[in-house]
Protein backbone atom coordinates (compact mmCIF):
# COMPACT_ATOMS: atom_id res chain seq x y z
CA UNK A 1 0.00 0.00 0.00
CA UNK A 2 1.23 3.48 -0.93
CA UNK A 3 0.13 6.30 1.37
CA UNK A 4 -1.19 9.40 -0.39
CA UNK A 5 -2.99 12.40 1.08
CA UNK A 6 -5.95 12.27 -1.32
CA UNK A 7 -6.50 8.55 -0.73
CA UNK A 8 -9.46 7.54 1.44
CA UNK A 9 -8.65 5.57 4.56
CA UNK A 10 -9.07 1.82 4.45
CA UNK A 11 -11.47 0.08 6.81
CA UNK A 12 -8.57 -1.08 9.02
CA UNK A 13 -7.20 2.48 9.30
CA UNK A 14 -10.65 3.80 10.25
CA UNK A 15 -10.94 1.05 12.86
CA UNK A 16 -7.49 1.99 14.16
CA UNK A 17 -8.64 5.60 14.57
CA UNK A 18 -11.67 4.50 16.60
CA UNK A 19 -9.52 2.23 18.75
CA UNK A 20 -6.89 4.92 19.25
CA UNK A 21 -9.50 7.43 20.41
CA UNK A 22 -10.97 4.95 22.89
CA UNK A 23 -7.56 3.91 24.24
CA UNK A 24 -6.38 7.51 24.52
CA UNK A 25 -9.41 8.52 26.57
CA UNK A 26 -9.07 5.42 28.73
CA UNK A 27 -5.46 6.28 29.55
CA UNK A 28 -6.31 9.96 30.01
CA UNK A 29 -9.12 9.32 32.51
CA UNK A 30 -6.88 8.73 35.57
CA UNK A 31 -4.93 11.91 34.78
CA UNK A 32 -8.17 13.89 34.64
CA UNK A 33 -9.37 12.38 37.92
CA UNK A 34 -6.05 13.10 39.66
CA UNK A 35 -5.50 16.53 38.10
CA UNK A 36 -6.05 18.50 41.39
CA UNK A 37 -3.24 16.45 42.93
CA UNK A 38 -0.92 16.08 39.91
CA UNK A 39 -0.89 19.78 39.02
CA UNK A 40 1.25 20.50 42.10
CA UNK A 41 4.01 18.32 40.66
CA UNK A 42 3.83 19.20 36.96
CA UNK A 43 4.80 22.50 35.44
CA UNK A 44 3.04 21.46 32.24
CA UNK A 45 -0.26 20.89 34.04
CA UNK A 46 0.05 24.15 35.95
CA UNK A 47 0.70 26.21 32.83
CA UNK A 48 -1.04 24.36 30.05
CA UNK A 49 -4.47 23.08 31.09
CA UNK A 50 -6.39 25.47 28.82
CA UNK A 51 -4.05 24.69 25.91
CA UNK A 52 -4.32 20.95 26.46
CA UNK A 53 -8.10 21.20 26.23
CA UNK A 54 -7.78 22.81 22.83
CA UNK A 55 -8.95 26.23 24.01
CA UNK A 56 -6.25 28.05 22.07
CA UNK A 57 -6.57 31.76 21.32
CA UNK A 58 -8.66 32.26 18.16
CA UNK A 59 -6.92 33.70 15.10
CA UNK A 60 -8.02 36.48 12.76
CA UNK A 61 -10.25 34.87 10.10
CA UNK A 62 -9.12 37.46 7.55
CA UNK A 63 -5.48 36.32 7.68
CA UNK A 64 -3.79 33.21 6.37
CA UNK A 65 -2.80 31.09 9.40
CA UNK A 66 0.19 28.74 9.63
CA UNK A 67 0.47 26.28 12.52
CA UNK A 68 4.08 25.25 13.25
CA UNK A 69 4.90 22.54 15.82
CA UNK A 70 8.27 21.67 17.38
CA UNK A 71 9.10 19.74 20.54
CA UNK A 72 12.76 19.87 21.60
CA UNK A 73 15.09 22.86 21.59
CA UNK A 74 16.65 21.62 18.37
CA UNK A 75 13.33 21.03 16.65
CA UNK A 76 12.00 24.37 17.83
CA UNK A 77 15.05 26.18 16.40
CA UNK A 78 14.08 24.73 13.02
CA UNK A 79 10.47 25.78 13.58
CA UNK A 80 11.50 29.33 14.49
CA UNK A 81 13.70 29.60 11.39
CA UNK A 82 10.84 28.41 9.20
CA UNK A 83 8.48 30.95 10.75
CA UNK A 84 10.95 33.76 10.05
CA UNK A 85 11.29 32.74 6.40
CA UNK A 86 7.56 32.30 5.89
CA UNK A 87 6.93 35.72 7.40
CA UNK A 88 9.02 37.21 4.59
CA UNK A 89 7.06 35.32 1.97
CA UNK A 90 3.62 35.67 3.57
CA UNK A 91 3.79 38.96 5.51
CA UNK A 92 0.04 39.03 6.03
CA UNK A 93 -0.06 35.59 7.66
CA UNK A 94 -0.53 34.79 11.35
CA UNK A 95 1.63 32.14 13.00
CA UNK A 96 0.78 29.69 15.76
CA UNK A 97 3.62 27.81 17.45
CA UNK A 98 3.01 24.80 19.67
CA UNK A 99 5.31 22.58 21.70
CA UNK A 100 5.14 20.03 24.51
CA UNK A 101 8.20 21.35 26.36
CA UNK A 102 7.92 24.14 28.98
CA UNK A 103 11.40 25.54 28.34
CA UNK A 104 10.80 25.68 24.60
CA UNK A 105 7.50 27.49 25.16
CA UNK A 106 9.24 29.99 27.45
CA UNK A 107 11.89 30.62 24.78
CA UNK A 108 9.24 31.09 22.09
CA UNK A 109 7.36 33.60 24.23
CA UNK A 110 10.51 35.49 25.22
CA UNK A 111 11.68 35.77 21.63
CA UNK A 112 8.21 36.60 20.31
CA UNK A 113 8.60 34.03 17.56
CA UNK A 114 4.90 33.66 16.68
CA UNK A 115 1.61 35.49 17.10
CA UNK A 116 0.38 32.70 19.37
CA UNK A 117 2.65 30.36 21.38
CA UNK A 118 0.98 27.55 23.34
CA UNK A 119 1.27 23.98 24.51
CA UNK A 120 0.29 21.33 21.98
CA UNK A 121 -3.31 20.18 22.71
CA UNK A 122 -4.07 16.68 23.92
CA UNK A 123 -4.33 14.33 20.96
CA UNK A 124 -7.95 13.55 21.83
CA UNK A 125 -10.85 14.07 19.43
CA UNK A 126 -12.53 16.74 21.58
CA UNK A 127 -9.37 18.82 22.20
CA UNK A 128 -8.00 18.65 18.67
CA UNK A 129 -11.38 19.51 17.19
CA UNK A 130 -11.58 22.59 19.41
CA UNK A 131 -8.00 23.60 18.58
CA UNK A 132 -8.48 23.37 14.82
CA UNK A 133 -11.84 25.15 14.98
CA UNK A 134 -10.31 28.04 16.92
CA UNK A 135 -7.04 28.35 15.00
CA UNK A 136 -8.49 27.63 11.55
CA UNK A 137 -5.06 26.98 9.99
CA UNK A 138 -4.42 27.15 6.26
CA UNK A 139 -1.37 24.91 6.55
CA UNK A 140 0.35 22.89 9.27
CA UNK A 141 4.07 22.15 9.71
CA UNK A 142 5.75 19.57 11.96
CA UNK A 143 9.43 19.98 12.72
CA UNK A 144 11.39 16.76 12.35
CA UNK A 145 9.58 13.82 13.91
CA UNK A 146 6.49 14.31 16.13
CA UNK A 147 3.59 12.20 14.79
CA UNK A 148 0.08 12.15 16.31
CA UNK A 149 -2.87 10.17 14.89
CA UNK A 150 -5.76 12.51 15.82
CA UNK A 151 -3.77 15.60 14.88
CA UNK A 152 -2.94 14.08 11.50
CA UNK A 153 -6.54 12.96 10.93
CA UNK A 154 -7.85 16.45 11.63
CA UNK A 155 -5.59 17.76 8.86
CA UNK A 156 -6.73 15.09 6.43
CA UNK A 157 -10.42 15.53 7.25
CA UNK A 158 -10.17 19.29 6.76
CA UNK A 159 -8.02 18.90 3.62
CA UNK A 160 -5.24 20.99 5.14
CA UNK A 161 -1.72 20.67 3.72
CA UNK A 162 0.44 19.05 6.39
CA UNK A 163 4.21 19.24 5.90
CA UNK A 164 7.07 17.45 7.65
CA UNK A 165 9.97 19.91 7.88
CA UNK A 166 13.59 18.82 8.36
CA UNK A 167 12.24 15.30 8.72
CA UNK A 168 14.25 12.73 10.61
CA UNK A 169 13.07 9.11 10.52
CA UNK A 170 14.82 6.88 13.04
CA UNK A 171 15.18 3.13 12.66
CA UNK A 172 12.76 2.76 15.58
CA UNK A 173 10.06 4.85 13.86
CA UNK A 174 10.58 3.01 10.58
CA UNK A 175 10.33 -0.40 12.23
CA UNK A 176 7.23 0.53 14.25
CA UNK A 177 5.17 1.95 11.39
CA UNK A 178 6.31 -0.77 8.99
CA UNK A 179 4.68 -3.27 11.35
CA UNK A 180 1.69 -1.08 12.28
CA UNK A 181 0.46 -0.49 8.72
CA UNK A 182 -3.02 0.75 9.58
CA UNK A 183 -1.65 3.28 12.07
CA UNK A 184 0.95 4.34 9.52
CA UNK A 185 -1.79 4.80 6.93
CA UNK A 186 -3.81 6.92 9.38
CA UNK A 187 -0.87 9.23 10.01
CA UNK A 188 1.10 9.38 6.77
CA UNK A 189 -1.81 9.73 4.32
CA UNK A 190 -2.44 13.07 6.04
CA UNK A 191 0.77 14.65 4.72
CA UNK A 192 1.03 16.75 1.58
CA UNK A 193 4.84 16.61 1.51
CA UNK A 194 7.78 15.29 3.48
CA UNK A 195 10.95 17.41 3.44
CA UNK A 196 13.65 15.21 4.97
CA UNK A 197 17.33 15.53 5.82
CA UNK A 198 18.96 12.58 4.09
CA UNK A 199 18.34 9.96 1.38
CA UNK A 200 18.23 7.44 4.25
CA UNK A 201 15.24 9.25 5.77
CA UNK A 202 13.46 9.10 2.41
CA UNK A 203 14.23 5.40 2.07
CA UNK A 204 12.69 4.72 5.47
CA UNK A 205 9.51 6.65 4.66
CA UNK A 206 9.15 4.72 1.40
CA UNK A 207 9.60 1.49 3.34
CA UNK A 208 6.80 2.56 5.69
CA UNK A 209 4.55 3.08 2.66
CA UNK A 210 4.86 6.75 1.72
CA UNK A 211 4.68 7.67 -1.97
CA UNK A 212 8.31 8.51 -2.94
CA UNK A 213 7.03 11.39 -5.09
CA UNK A 214 5.89 13.14 -1.91
CA UNK A 215 9.35 12.99 -0.29
CA UNK A 216 12.04 15.58 -0.99
CA UNK A 217 15.58 15.41 0.42
CA UNK A 218 16.38 18.99 1.42
CA UNK A 219 19.24 18.61 3.91
CA UNK A 220 19.46 19.60 7.56
CA UNK A 221 18.14 23.10 8.30
CA UNK A 222 20.25 23.27 11.46
CA UNK A 223 23.30 23.70 9.24
CA UNK A 224 21.86 27.09 8.27
CA UNK A 225 21.33 28.21 11.84
CA UNK A 226 24.84 29.02 12.98
CA UNK A 227 24.34 32.02 15.28
CA UNK A 228 26.16 35.32 15.05
CA UNK A 229 28.53 35.84 17.97
CA UNK A 230 30.58 38.73 19.25
CA UNK A 231 34.10 38.97 17.90
CA UNK A 232 36.36 37.40 20.49
CA UNK A 233 39.76 38.52 21.72
CA UNK A 234 41.39 35.67 19.82
CA UNK A 235 44.92 37.02 19.50
CA UNK A 236 45.46 37.60 23.22
CA UNK A 237 44.12 34.14 24.07
CA UNK A 238 46.39 32.64 21.43
CA UNK A 239 49.42 34.49 22.84
CA UNK A 240 48.53 33.40 26.36
CA UNK A 241 48.57 29.74 25.34
CA UNK A 242 51.88 30.10 23.40
CA UNK A 243 50.94 27.70 20.58
CA UNK A 244 50.27 24.79 22.95
CA UNK A 245 47.52 22.29 22.11
CA UNK A 246 44.20 23.70 23.30
CA UNK A 247 41.26 21.61 24.48
CA UNK A 248 37.98 23.54 24.49
CA UNK A 249 35.03 22.47 26.62
CA UNK A 250 31.97 24.26 25.23
CA UNK A 251 28.72 24.89 27.13
CA UNK A 252 29.78 22.66 30.02
CA UNK A 253 27.30 21.77 32.78
CA UNK A 254 28.25 21.31 36.45
CA UNK A 255 27.80 17.53 36.43
CA UNK A 256 30.12 17.29 33.42
CA UNK A 257 32.70 19.54 35.02
CA UNK A 258 32.79 17.26 38.05
CA UNK A 259 33.07 14.14 35.93
CA UNK A 260 35.74 15.51 33.60
CA UNK A 261 37.74 17.53 36.13
CA UNK A 262 40.34 14.77 36.76
CA UNK A 263 40.72 14.40 32.97
CA UNK A 264 41.25 18.15 32.65
CA UNK A 265 44.03 18.03 35.26
CA UNK A 266 45.73 15.19 33.36
CA UNK A 267 45.50 17.16 30.12
CA UNK A 268 47.17 20.17 31.73
CA UNK A 269 49.93 18.04 33.28
CA UNK A 270 50.60 16.59 29.82
CA UNK A 271 51.34 20.10 28.56
CA UNK A 272 47.98 21.01 27.03
CA UNK A 273 45.99 24.16 27.68
CA UNK A 274 42.28 24.39 28.52
CA UNK A 275 39.55 26.81 27.51
CA UNK A 276 36.36 26.09 29.45
CA UNK A 277 33.01 27.73 28.71
CA UNK A 278 30.39 27.08 31.41
CA UNK A 279 26.84 26.86 30.14
CA UNK A 280 26.01 29.22 32.99
CA UNK A 281 28.77 31.79 33.55
CA UNK A 282 27.79 31.99 37.22
CA UNK A 283 29.87 28.82 37.64
CA UNK A 284 33.06 30.49 36.37
CA UNK A 285 34.35 31.75 39.74
CA UNK A 286 33.72 28.43 41.49
CA UNK A 287 35.43 26.45 38.74
CA UNK A 288 38.44 28.77 38.76
CA UNK A 289 38.76 28.16 42.48
CA UNK A 290 38.71 24.39 41.93
CA UNK A 291 41.63 24.65 39.51
CA UNK A 292 43.56 26.93 41.82
CA UNK A 293 43.14 24.44 44.66
CA UNK A 294 44.58 21.80 42.32
CA UNK A 295 47.63 24.05 41.68
CA UNK A 296 46.61 24.84 38.10
CA UNK A 297 47.24 28.39 36.89
CA UNK A 298 43.67 29.19 35.85
CA UNK A 299 42.26 32.65 35.14
CA UNK A 300 38.93 34.09 34.05
CA UNK A 301 38.71 35.43 30.52
CA UNK A 302 38.12 38.96 31.82
CA UNK A 303 41.44 38.74 33.73
CA UNK A 304 43.44 37.97 30.62
CA UNK A 305 46.52 40.13 30.03
CA UNK A 306 49.40 39.62 27.62
CA UNK A 307 51.82 39.08 30.52
CA UNK A 308 49.82 36.14 31.90
CA UNK A 309 50.63 32.60 30.79
CA UNK A 310 47.71 30.55 32.16
CA UNK A 311 47.29 26.84 31.88
CA UNK A 312 43.50 27.21 31.75
CA UNK A 313 41.09 30.01 30.93
CA UNK A 314 37.45 29.98 32.00
CA UNK A 315 35.18 31.98 29.74
CA UNK A 316 33.07 34.33 31.87
CA UNK A 317 31.79 36.42 28.97
CA UNK A 318 28.84 35.90 26.66
CA UNK A 319 28.92 35.47 22.89
CA UNK A 320 32.62 34.67 22.32
CA UNK A 321 32.70 30.88 22.38
CA UNK A 322 31.92 30.37 18.69
CA UNK A 323 34.90 32.51 17.65
CA UNK A 324 37.23 30.97 20.23
CA UNK A 325 36.57 27.47 18.90
CA UNK A 326 39.00 28.43 16.11
CA UNK A 327 41.86 28.11 18.65
CA UNK A 328 40.94 24.56 19.62
CA UNK A 329 43.03 21.53 18.82
CA UNK A 330 40.13 19.40 20.03
CA UNK A 331 36.69 20.40 21.35
CA UNK A 332 34.12 18.72 23.56
CA UNK A 333 30.46 19.74 23.24
CA UNK A 334 28.75 20.13 26.60
CA UNK A 335 25.38 18.83 27.70
CA UNK A 336 26.16 15.46 26.16
CA UNK A 337 27.35 13.69 29.32
CA UNK A 338 24.34 14.94 31.27
CA UNK A 339 21.29 12.82 30.50
CA UNK A 340 18.91 15.53 31.69
CA UNK A 341 20.28 18.02 29.13
CA UNK A 342 20.54 15.99 25.94
CA UNK A 343 23.32 17.94 24.26
CA UNK A 344 24.04 21.34 22.73
CA UNK A 345 24.61 22.39 19.14
CA UNK A 346 27.90 20.98 17.73
CA UNK A 347 27.75 22.99 14.50
CA UNK A 348 29.86 25.92 15.78
CA UNK A 349 32.70 23.46 16.45
CA UNK A 350 32.35 21.87 13.02
CA UNK A 351 32.30 25.27 11.36
CA UNK A 352 35.64 26.04 13.04
CA UNK A 353 37.23 22.92 11.42
CA UNK A 354 37.91 21.36 14.82
CA UNK A 355 37.71 17.62 15.65
CA UNK A 356 34.70 16.98 17.87
CA UNK A 357 34.16 14.80 20.94
CA UNK A 358 30.60 14.31 22.18
CA UNK A 359 29.03 12.47 25.07
CA UNK A 360 26.41 9.82 24.41
CA UNK A 361 23.37 11.97 25.35
CA UNK A 362 22.73 14.05 22.24
CA UNK A 363 18.98 13.73 21.68
CA UNK A 364 18.57 17.50 21.09
CA UNK A 365 20.83 17.23 18.06
CA UNK A 366 20.47 13.53 17.28
CA UNK A 367 20.01 14.17 13.56
CA UNK A 368 23.31 16.02 13.20
CA UNK A 369 25.25 13.74 15.52
CA UNK A 370 23.98 10.53 13.93
CA UNK A 371 25.00 11.79 10.50
CA UNK A 372 28.43 12.69 11.89
CA UNK A 373 28.72 9.17 13.32
CA UNK A 374 27.91 7.65 9.93
CA UNK A 375 30.66 9.73 8.31
CA UNK A 376 33.21 9.00 11.07
CA UNK A 377 33.27 12.68 11.93
CA UNK A 378 32.73 12.61 15.70
CA UNK A 379 33.96 10.51 18.61
CA UNK A 380 31.21 9.52 21.05
CA UNK A 381 32.24 8.92 24.68
CA UNK A 382 30.25 7.71 27.66
CA UNK A 383 32.46 8.69 30.62
CA UNK A 384 35.74 10.31 31.66
CA UNK A 385 37.79 7.23 30.77
CA UNK A 386 36.52 7.05 27.19
CA UNK A 387 36.88 10.84 26.91
CA UNK A 388 40.56 10.59 27.83
CA UNK A 389 41.05 7.86 25.24
CA UNK A 390 39.38 9.90 22.47
CA UNK A 391 41.31 13.04 23.45
CA UNK A 392 44.60 11.16 23.42
CA UNK A 393 43.89 9.76 19.95
CA UNK A 394 43.26 13.20 18.50
CA UNK A 395 46.21 14.87 20.23
CA UNK A 396 48.68 12.14 19.29
CA UNK A 397 47.50 11.81 15.69
CA UNK A 398 47.10 15.11 13.83
CA UNK A 399 46.19 13.18 10.67
CA UNK A 400 43.29 11.49 12.45
CA UNK A 401 42.13 14.81 13.88
CA UNK A 402 42.27 16.38 10.42
CA UNK A 403 40.28 13.55 8.81
CA UNK A 404 37.53 13.88 11.44
CA UNK A 405 37.31 17.67 11.13
CA UNK A 406 37.25 17.46 7.30
CA UNK A 407 34.50 14.83 7.33
CA UNK A 408 32.45 16.91 9.77
CA UNK A 409 32.80 20.07 7.69
CA UNK A 410 31.65 18.14 4.60
CA UNK A 411 28.50 17.17 6.51
CA UNK A 412 27.92 20.83 7.32
CA UNK A 413 28.45 21.91 3.71
CA UNK A 414 26.22 19.17 2.30
CA UNK A 415 23.36 20.39 4.47
CA UNK A 416 23.80 24.11 3.88
CA UNK A 417 20.92 25.79 2.07
CA UNK A 418 18.29 23.40 3.42
CA UNK A 419 16.11 26.22 4.78
CA UNK A 420 15.95 27.99 1.42
CA UNK A 421 15.25 24.74 -0.44
CA UNK A 422 12.45 23.91 1.98
CA UNK A 423 10.75 27.30 1.82
CA UNK A 424 11.01 27.33 -1.99
CA UNK A 425 9.21 23.98 -2.12
CA UNK A 426 6.50 25.26 0.23
CA UNK A 427 5.97 28.34 -1.93
CA UNK A 428 5.82 26.21 -5.07
CA UNK A 429 3.20 24.00 -3.41
CA UNK A 430 0.93 26.96 -2.74
CA UNK A 431 1.62 28.43 -6.18
CA UNK A 432 0.44 25.21 -7.82
Assess if residue 113 is contained within a domain. yes
Assess if residue 4 is contained within a domain. no
72 against 375, higher pLDDT: 375
Confidence at residue 227, expressed as pLDDT on a 0 to 100 scale: 66
Confidence at residue 42, expressed as pLDDT on a 0 to 100 scale: 75
Among 108-122, 164-178, 217-231, the minimum mean pLDDT is found in 217-231
With a cut of 80, say whether residue 223 has pLDDT above it.
Answer: yes
pLDDT tens digits for range 408-425: 999 999 888 999 999 999
Q: What is the mean pLDDT of residues 91-120?
A: 90
Assess if residue 225 is contained within a domain. no
Assess if residue 224 is contained within a domain. no
Q: Which residues contact 407 (CB under 8 A, 6 or more apart)?
A: 372, 375, 376, 377
Confidence at residue 228, expressed as pLDDT on a 0 to 100 scale: 58
Structural domain boundaries, residue 167: 11-219+417-431
- The pTM is what? 0.76
Question: Number of structural domains, the chain?
Answer: 2
Residues 426 and 404 in one domain: no
- Which CATH number fits the domain that encloses residue 375? 3.40.50.2000
| Confidence bin at 170 (pLDDT 50/70/90) | confident
- Which CATH number fits the domain that encloses residue 80? 3.40.50.11720
Confidence at residue 45, expressed as pLDDT on a 0 to 100 scale: 75
3-state SS track over the chain: CCECCCCCCCHHHHHHHHHHHHHHHHHHHHHHHCHHHHCCCCHHHHHHHHHHCCCCCCCCCCCCEEEEECCCHHHHHHHHHHHHHHHHHCCCCEEEEEECCHHHHHHHHHHCCCCEEEECCCCCHHHHHHHHHHHCCCEEEEECCCCCHHHHHHHHHCCCCEEEEEECCCHHHHHHHHHCHHHHHHHHCCCCEEEECCHHHHHHHHHHCECHHHEEECCCHHHHCCCCCCCCCHHHHHHHHCCCCEEEEEEECHHHHHHHHHHHHHHHHCCCEEEEEECCHHHHHHHHHHHHHCCCCEEEHHHCCCCCCCCEEECCCCCCHHHHHHHCCEEEECCCCCCCCCCCCCHHHHHCCCCEEEECCCHHHHHHHHHHHHCCCCEEECCHHHHHHHHHHHHHCHHHHHHHHHHHHHHHHHHCCHHHHHHHHHHHHHHC
With a cut of 90, say whether residue 134 has pLDDT above it.
Answer: yes
Assess if residue 5 is contained within a domain. no
pLDDT tens digits for range 258-315: 999 999 999 999 999 999 999 999 999 999 999 999 999 999 999 887 567 899 999 9
Residues 49 and 124 in one domain: yes
Among 166-170, 201-205, 311-315, 364-368, the minimum mean pLDDT is found in 364-368
Residues 404 and 427 in one domain: no
Closest alpha carbon to 75 in 152, 172, 123, 142: 142
Among 70-84, 328-342, 371-385, the minimum mean pLDDT is found in 70-84
Assess if residue 281 is contained within a domain. yes
Residues 380 and 290 in one domain: yes
Confidence at residue 307, expressed as pLDDT on a 0 to 100 scale: 62
Assess if residue 226 is contained within a domain. no
Is the distance from CB of 54 to CB of 127 less than 8 angstroms? yes
pLDDT tens digits for range 27-47: 888 877 777 877 777 777 778
Residues 399 and 371 in one domain: yes
Residues 243 and 142 in one domain: no
Residues 195 and 128 in one domain: yes
Assess if residue 58 is contained within a domain. yes
Residues 204 and 293 in one domain: no
Residues 26 and 139 in one domain: yes
**Number of other CB atoms surrounding residue 103 within 10 Å:** 12
Residues 410 and 421 in one domain: no
Residues 192 and 255 in one domain: no
Average pLDDT, the chain: 91
Residues 394 and 427 in one domain: no
83 against 3, higher pLDDT: 83
Note the Cα 380 to chain centre separation in Å: 18
With a cut of 70, say whether residue 2 has pLDDT above it.
Answer: no
pLDDT tens digits for range 371-400: 899 999 999 999 999 999 999 999 999 999
| Confidence bin at 62 (pLDDT 50/70/90) | confident
pLDDT tens digits for range 108-117: 888 888 999 9
Q: What is the mean pLDDT of residues 202-219?
A: 94
Amino acid sequence: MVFKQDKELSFSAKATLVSYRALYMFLLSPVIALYPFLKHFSRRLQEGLIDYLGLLPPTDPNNKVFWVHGVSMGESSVAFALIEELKKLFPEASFVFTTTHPDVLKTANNKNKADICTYFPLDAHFSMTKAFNRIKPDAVFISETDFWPEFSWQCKKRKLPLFLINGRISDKICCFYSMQKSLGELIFTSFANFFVQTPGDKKKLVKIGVDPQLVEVTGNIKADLLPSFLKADIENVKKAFKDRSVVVFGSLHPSEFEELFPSMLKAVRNGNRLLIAPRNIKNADLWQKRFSEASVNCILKTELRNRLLPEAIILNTMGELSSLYSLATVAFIGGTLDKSVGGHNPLEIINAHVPLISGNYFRNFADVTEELQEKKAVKIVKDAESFESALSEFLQSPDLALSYSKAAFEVLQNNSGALKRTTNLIVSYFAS
